[in-house]
Amino acid sequence: MLITAPNLTRPDETYERLIAIHDGLTEAESHALNARLVLILMNHIGDHQVLDQALRLARDPSRAPD
């Protein structure tokens, strides 16, 4: 089951790192980084059903996962 309740241990710091990791990159390089990041996190999660819920939630954030 996809966790949608708050789960980040240090939300502000983590978000800051997400933005900072793109410093100095062109837009194309940033898109490539994001794509790699998605793949790395997908592998960490692993479970197909959880990922499917996450993908659908990303497409339509107003619809809570089943």
Partner 1 sequence: MTDLVAERYRLAFRLYPYARSPDQDAPAPARHKVIIAGGGPIGLATALDLGRRGVPVVLLDDHEGAGLGSRALCFAKRTLEICDRLGAAGPMLDKGVQWNVGKVFHDDRLLYEFNLLPEGGHAFPAFINLQQPWFEKFLHDAILAAQAEGAPIELRGRNRVDAVTPSADHVTLDIMTPDGPYQLQADWLIACDGARSPLRGMLGLSFDGRVFEDNFLIADVKMKADFPTERWFWFEPHFKSGDSALLHKQPDDIWRIDFQLGWNIDRAKELEPANIRARVDAMLGPDVAYELDWCSIYTFQCRRMDRFRHGRVLFAGDSAHQVSPFGARGANSGIQDVDNLAWKLALVLDGTAPDSLLDSYDAERVHGADENILNSTRATDFITPKTPVSKLFRNAVLTLAEHLPFARTVVNSGRLSLPCTYDGSALNGPDHPDMPPRTRPGSPCPDAPLAGGWLLPHLGRGFTLLSINQTVPDSLSAHGLTVPRLALDATPEIAARYLGNAKGAVYLIRPDQHVAARWDHFDESAIAAALARAIGKV
CA 44 to chain centre: 11
User: Contact residues for partner 1 (CB under 8 A)?
Assistant: 31-32, 35-36, 38-40, 43
| Two structure tokens written together for 44 | 């960490």
Rounded to whole angstroms, the Cα distance separating 52 from 63 reads 13
| Smallest distance, partner 1 to C-beta of residue 6, A | 28
Kindly report the number of other CB atoms within 10 A of residue 57's CB atom: 15
| Smallest distance, partner 1 to C-beta of residue 40, A | 7
Is 30:22 a contact under the CB 8 Å cutoff?
A: yes
Q: CB nearer to partner 1: give 44 or 63.
A: 44
| Smallest distance, partner 1 to C-beta of residue 22, A | 15
Q: CB nearer to partner 1: give 38 or 64.
A: 38
